[in-house]
């Protein structure tokens, strides 16, 4: 209880900061759009975003609600043209300073989250004042209601999530292109330095044998034997290169059997536990296979391990791989042991890697690739029952009434003494009942909206977990 009251005090302390930010925002808007002092706008937006970030932090700590920031991705740094100049609209600059400032100004001005933050800053003091009785009587419930209110205006929207995904996909695409180019360079190097050199040597050996056939048949026979041995070695090397591109066992038998084949070829004692009811797509299997292969090689070459345990499993629609060895630990991606390359492979599929490798060992590497099991997506989730569908539609259609007209608008009329009762229920009641009814209407509307969103989300989560 004391902790809840501490969170309430933190929110009320932020109220003072909000009022200061609100006053400065009004002055900044007047100076920016009235007097042309555009340089004041970006720092003001940054200050408001600091306030909202602090509020998100307090809401998460007090109510356990994580509110994802809704801001669009920042614009990339300006790139010079072929003549070294930087373009911003129709103007050229010698340095990137002004184009970068213009891009940042446009980004802040056109981001819908900037104006949603401003609306939140305008209404949040009123909401906090209305929730003070609930904060005092039931602080836990009050914090939960306040979290719902903040989530309405401060949470990420579909547009911001989409923009973030597009930005992320652009980075992943560039990373995948770089990784593919590096892989092609490696294959080219292997073919040039190894296979090509062997083939040239075989050709020279056969040529020498041709010249000796009429004069020294025994020497020619010996040279042909060497050429045959070299061709066998070249064939073995070509097979190794082909396996490095895409192992046949991976394409034919899937990830689990391919990893078991790796375990059989390894000099270490490798135990493989696989529980994969569905095969991922081929690119995902390849990335996971080569990640496991690299980790096995690290355990043998750098970790001094004697035994390795590999676990392949699914976590809902996610593929999870754990590789644990009994080596001496100290694995670090910054040391160039191939771990950074594994991270790049996984990043192409939004995968993450966690390493626990204290000095002295053991080393445990956990990799997770989210939403890569195709059967999860191909199979249909259980449909929303009719009663739930009707309930969600009814809540979406009616929640606005208690929240805004009967709640927020009635509170504004009450605060400013507007002599207009019309159809506002609370204003027709005796004075002692008006504020409690207004608070109840706002709370009811928020609960209705949250329920309308939570019912489909919980249904989808349960259906997705049942697929695996």
Q: What is the pLDDT of residue 379?
A: 40
Q: What is the pLDDT of residue 456?
A: 76
Closest CA to 290 of 241, 325, 363, 342: 342
User: Prior bond to 362 cis, omega within 30?
Assistant: yes
- Rounded Cα distance between 205 and 218, Å, is 14
- DSSP β-bridge partners for residue 335: none
Closest CA to 309 of 329, 323, 293, 290: 323
Q: How confident is the model at residue 180 (pLDDT cuts 50, 70, 90)?
A: low
Name which CATH class applies to 253-378: alpha beta
Digit-coded pLDDT (tens) for 109-164: 888 888 889 899 999 988 888 888 888 888 888 888 888 888 888 888 777 777 77
Give the mean model confidence (pLDDT) for residues 39-63: 90
Q: Where are the alpha helices (DSSP H) in 254-351?
A: 255-265, 282-301, 339-347
Residue 108 reports pLDDT greater than 70: yes
Joined together, the tokens standing for residue 151 give 């989530």
Q: Which residue has the tokens 């084949």?
A: 261
Q: What is the pLDDT of residue 163?
A: 72
Residues 6+ apart with CB under 8 A from 153: 116, 117, 119, 120, 123
Digit-coded pLDDT (tens) for 398-427: 887 888 788 888 888 888 777 776 777 888
Digit-coded pLDDT (tens) for 360-403: 888 999 999 888 876 444 344 456 677 777 788 788 778 878 88
Backbone φ and ψ of 156, nearest 5°: -65, 145
Length of the chain as a residue count? 468
Residue 358 reports pLDDT greater than 70: yes
DSSP state of 278: S
Digit-coded pLDDT (tens) for 149-163: 888 888 887 777 777
Residue 294 reports pLDDT greater than 70: yes
Q: How confident is the model at residue 85 (pLDDT cuts 50, 70, 90)?
A: confident
């Amino acid at each position: 209880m004391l902790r809840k009251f501490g969170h309430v005090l933190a929110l009320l302390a932020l109220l003072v900061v909000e009022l200061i930010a609100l006053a400065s925002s009004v002055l900044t808007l007047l100076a920016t759009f009235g007097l042309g002092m555009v340089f004041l706008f970006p720092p003001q937006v940054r200050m408001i975003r600091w306030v909202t970030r602090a509020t998100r932090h307090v809401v998460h700590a007090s109510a356990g609600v994580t509110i994802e920031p809704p801001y669009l991705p920042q614009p990339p740094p300006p790139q010079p043209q072929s003549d070294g100049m930087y373009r911003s609209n129709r103007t050229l600059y010698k340095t990137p300073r002004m184009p970068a400032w213009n891009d940042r100004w446009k980004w802040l001005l056109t981001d819908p989250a900037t104006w949603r933050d401003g609306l939140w800053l305008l209404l949040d003091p009123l909401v906090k004042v209305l929730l003070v009785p609930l904060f005092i009587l039931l602080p836990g419930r009050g914090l939960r209601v306040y979290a719902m209110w903040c989530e309405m205006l401060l949470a990420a929207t579909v547009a911001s999530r989409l923009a973030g995904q597009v930005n992320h996909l652009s980075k992943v695409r560039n990373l995948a292109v770089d990784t593919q180019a590096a892989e092609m360079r490696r294959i080219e190097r292997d073919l040039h330095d190894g296979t090509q050199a062997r083939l040239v040597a075989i050709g020279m050996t056969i040529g020498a044998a041709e010249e000796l056939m009429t004069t020294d048949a025994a020497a020619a026979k010996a040279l042909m034997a060497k050429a045959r041995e070299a061709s066998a070695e070249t064939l073995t090397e070509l097979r190794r290169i082909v396996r490095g591109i895409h192992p046949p066992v991976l394409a034919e038998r899937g990830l689990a059997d391919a990893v078991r084949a790796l375990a059989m070829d390894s000099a270490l004692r490798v135990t493989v536990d696989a529980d994969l009811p569905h095969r991922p797509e081929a690119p995902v299997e390849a990335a996971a296979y080569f990640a496991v292969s690299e980790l096995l090689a690290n355990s043998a070459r750098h970790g001094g391990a004697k035994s390795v345990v590999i676990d392949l499993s699914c976590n809902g629609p996610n593929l999870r791989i754990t590789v644990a060895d009994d080596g001496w630990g100290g694995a670090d991606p910054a040391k160039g042991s191939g771990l950074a390359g594994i991270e790049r492979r996984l990043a192409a599929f939004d995968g993450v890697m966690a390493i626990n490798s204290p000095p002295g060992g053991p080393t445990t590497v956990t990799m997770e690739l989210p939403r890569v099991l195709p059967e999860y997506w191909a199979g249909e989730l259980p449909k929303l029952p009719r009663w739930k569908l009707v309930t969600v539609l009814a809540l979406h259609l009616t929640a606005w009434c208690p929240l805004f007209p009967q709640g927020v608008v009635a509170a504004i009329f009450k605060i400013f003494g507007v002599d207009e009762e019309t159809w506002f229920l609370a204003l027709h009641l005796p004075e002692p009942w008006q504020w409690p009814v207004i608070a109840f209407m706002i709370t009811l509307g928020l609960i209705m909206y949250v329920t309308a969103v939570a019912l489909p989300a919980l249904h989808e989560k349960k259906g997705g977990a049942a697929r695996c």
